[in-house]
Chains A and B, each alone.
Chain A
């Protein structure tokens, strides 16, 4: 630590890798970054899908992005996963690589061009997972420092039992890393999954205030949650679109 402080002092506060605010950089109207976060089975993807349909219906330019979807490191992570060779640090760095590729290639340019980028998981997934796996939380946050902050982050909070139940119905076969088996939490994969997910949830809850999460009660009706999300998004839309959209919301 002393070493780092000493070096950083000498380097000074250089920011050529700034968190650029698109609005400020050029005259182009910037888009908005909307993020959903939450553990598996919190219903966040369903909500994002509905939001996507609504925005497209309103004529808004939309781009959808997820977590771990780029081709670049997919091969390596799956190879590493098979052999269980990944350490928490390499796992974290590979996901960061993957994220950076999506970010540099799609997310950031599309935001600059005025798109509404809808992200199913964003840097907070890495904050939560990597911390639970044993990486230094401060190191993880610095690594993702280049990523622009979302316009809105919806966090879907749900009791662990409900989430696990939802997952178990649809997809009973769990993968090694997905269940957090690398953490030796339990020899039983389902029990391991449950403990792992509850630890991730703890991390989400801990960062909710600092990261300005809009906390959603994910036990509510799907329609009710969606209405709340749409209302929250209204201020981000162009005035004429917002007027149209709010009329529809009232009906």
Chain B
């Protein structure tokens, strides 16, 4: 390869990173956004409640900001439009599984279009405190087909990095008990009639969710992070992976 070609290529690379890269959807996508260029990066942290997920999001945000990056965080249930309605729907129990799945998808779509995509367009690093994978896992363990769920989220954009904080169920309940002294109804899958008591239900439910996440590791490229370790060990692990990715993509 002659030096001139290399030089031209180098210039093109700079140009491309200025404009951002083409938006990538999981499936059929959103036709009216297909020309959108994303300058930022989308990093997803998944994991059950008690896995230290929210703390890690906070630590990563602080570190990336101190490195000089613009950072935006986003979670589930935070959409301005639908957020409150999601909670209301949960309290109004007799709602079918497909209805609930679509409702959460609507909530997610609102956040995606009004928060995540604009932030990425502006060049921000977006750290998502859970993404479509939690929503998919919850639906699938409740009997909704994987294919339908996957097709439904065909409008979601493909993240740049996806981490799953993997904690064994016994570590998990100890952490939850130390913090709240009680198990959450939904995080225990208590709506599913899995067991007579909340504790057994929690164990069965979390095992099923974990199995679904293991399946998704292969399908969607989730990287499992051993979160049985201390918070700072987990953070070092995550931070190393994120920094090396950002360095490699020259952000």
Residues of A within 8 A of B (CB): 1, 3-4, 7-8, 10-17, 72-73, 75-76, 79-80, 85-90, 93-94, 96-97, 100-101, 103-105, 134-136, 138-139, 142-143, 145-146
Interface contact tally, CB-CB below 8 A: 133
Q: Does B109 contact A (CB under 8 A)?
A: yes
Question: Which residue from B32, B114, B148, B220 sits with its C-beta under 8 Å from A88?
Answer: B32
Asked whether, in the complex, the Cβ of B151 is within 8 Å of the Cβ of A73, the reply is no
Alpha-carbon gap, A7 to B97, bound state (A): 23
Specify which chain A residues have a CB less than 8 angstroms from the CB of B11 in the assembled complex.
none
Question: Which residue from A17, A80, A97 sits with its C-beta under 8 Å from B102?
Answer: A97
Specify which chain B residues have a CB less than 8 angstroms from the CB of A73 in the assembled complex.
85, 103, 106
Asked whether, in the complex, the Cβ of B143 is within 8 Å of the Cβ of A16, the reply is yes
Asked whether, in the complex, the Cβ of A72 is within 8 Å of the Cβ of B150, the reply is no
Specify which chain A residues have a CB less than 8 angstroms from the CB of B150 in the assembled complex.
4, 7-8, 11
Specify which chain B residues have a CB less than 8 angstroms from the CB of A16 in the assembled complex.
143-145
- Name the segment of B21-29, B55-63, B233-241 touching the other chain: B21-29
Question: Which residue from A7, A75, A76, A146 sits with its C-beta under 8 Å from B26?
Answer: A7
Q: Does B31 contact A (CB under 8 A)?
A: yes
Contacts A1-B29, A14-B147, A97-B99 known; 10 new A-B pairs at CB < 8 A: A10-B218, A15-B145, A73-B103, A87-B109, A89-B109, A90-B109, A93-B105, A93-B106, A94-B82, A142-B154
Question: Which residue from B30, B97, B114, B218 sits with its C-beta under 8 Å from A136?
Answer: B30
Question: Which residue from A15, A76, A101, A146 sits with its C-beta under 8 Å from B95?
Answer: A101
Asked whether, in the complex, the Cβ of A4 is within 8 Å of the Cβ of B147, the reply is no
Contact code string B2-33 (vs A, CB < 8 Å = 1, else 0): 00000000000000000000001111111110
Specify which chain B residues have a CB less than 8 angstroms from the CB of A3 in the assembled complex.
24-27, 158
Alpha-carbon gap, A104 to B156, bound state (A): 25
What would be 23 A-B contacts, judged by CB atoms less than 8 Å apart?
A: A1-B29, A3-B25, A4-B26, A4-B151, A8-B147, A11-B146, A14-B145, A14-B146, A17-B98, A17-B145, A73-B106, A79-B81, A87-B109, A90-B82, A90-B110, A93-B106, A97-B102, A104-B97, A134-B32, A135-B31, A136-B154, A138-B28, A139-B29
Tell whether A1 pairs with B98 under 8 Å between CB atoms, given A11-B146, A94-B106.
Answer: no
Specify which chain B residues have a CB less than 8 angstroms from the CB of A105 in the assembled complex.
94, 96
Alpha-carbon gap, A80 to B220, bound state (A): 32
Question: Which residue from B105, B109, B219 sits with its C-beta under 8 Å from A10?
Answer: B219
The smallest beta-carbon distance between B95 and chain A, in angstroms, is 7
Alpha-carbon gap, A90 to B106, bound state (A): 5
Question: Which residue from B30, B92, B152 sits with its C-beta under 8 Å from A143?
Answer: B152
Specify which chain B residues have a CB less than 8 angstroms from the CB of A96 in the assembled complex.
102, 106
Q: Does B89 contact A (CB under 8 A)?
A: yes
Interface of A is mostly: helix
The smallest beta-carbon distance between A112 and chain B, in angstroms, is 14
Specify which chain A residues have a CB less than 8 angstroms from the CB of B28 in the assembled complex.
1, 4, 136, 138-139, 142
Alpha-carbon gap, A8 to B150, bound state (A): 8
Specify which chain B residues have a CB less than 8 angstroms from the CB of A17 in the assembled complex.
98, 144-145, 148
Tell whether A13 pairs with B24 under 8 Å between CB atoms, given A101-B96, A143-B152.
Answer: no
The smallest beta-carbon distance between B159 and chain A, in angstroms, is 12
Question: Which residue from A11, A79, A88, A94 sits with its C-beta under 8 Å from B219?
Answer: A11
Specify which chain A residues have a CB less than 8 angstroms from the CB of B65 in the assembled complex.
none
The smallest beta-carbon distance between B93 and chain A, in angstroms, is 12
Asked whether, in the complex, the Cβ of A7 is within 8 Å of the Cβ of B145, the reply is no
Asked whether, in the complex, the Cβ of B98 is within 8 Å of the Cβ of A104, the reply is yes
Asked whether, in the complex, the Cβ of A136 is within 8 Å of the Cβ of B113, the reply is no
Alpha-carbon gap, A55 to B130, bound state (A): 51
Asked whether, in the complex, the Cβ of B113 is within 8 Å of the Cβ of A90, the reply is yes
B89 (CB) vs chain A CBs: closest residue = A72
Contact code string B38-71 (vs A, CB < 8 Å = 1, else 0): 0000000000000000000000000000000000
The smallest beta-carbon distance between B64 and chain A, in angstroms, is 26
The smallest beta-carbon distance between A83 and chain B, in angstroms, is 8
Specify which chain B residues have a CB less than 8 angstroms from the CB of A104 in the assembled complex.
96-99
Specify which chain A residues have a CB less than 8 angstroms from the CB of B99 in the assembled complex.
72, 97, 100-101, 104
A94 (CB) vs chain B CBs: closest residue = B106
Asked whether, in the complex, the Cβ of B30 is within 8 Å of the Cβ of A100, the reply is no
Alpha-carbon gap, A140 to B30, bound state (A): 11
Specify which chain A residues have a CB less than 8 angstroms from the CB of B143 in the assembled complex.
16
The smallest beta-carbon distance between A70 and chain B, in angstroms, is 9
Specify which chain A residues have a CB less than 8 angstroms from the CB of B105 in the assembled complex.
93
Specify which chain A residues have a CB less than 8 angstroms from the CB of B110 in the assembled complex.
85, 87, 90
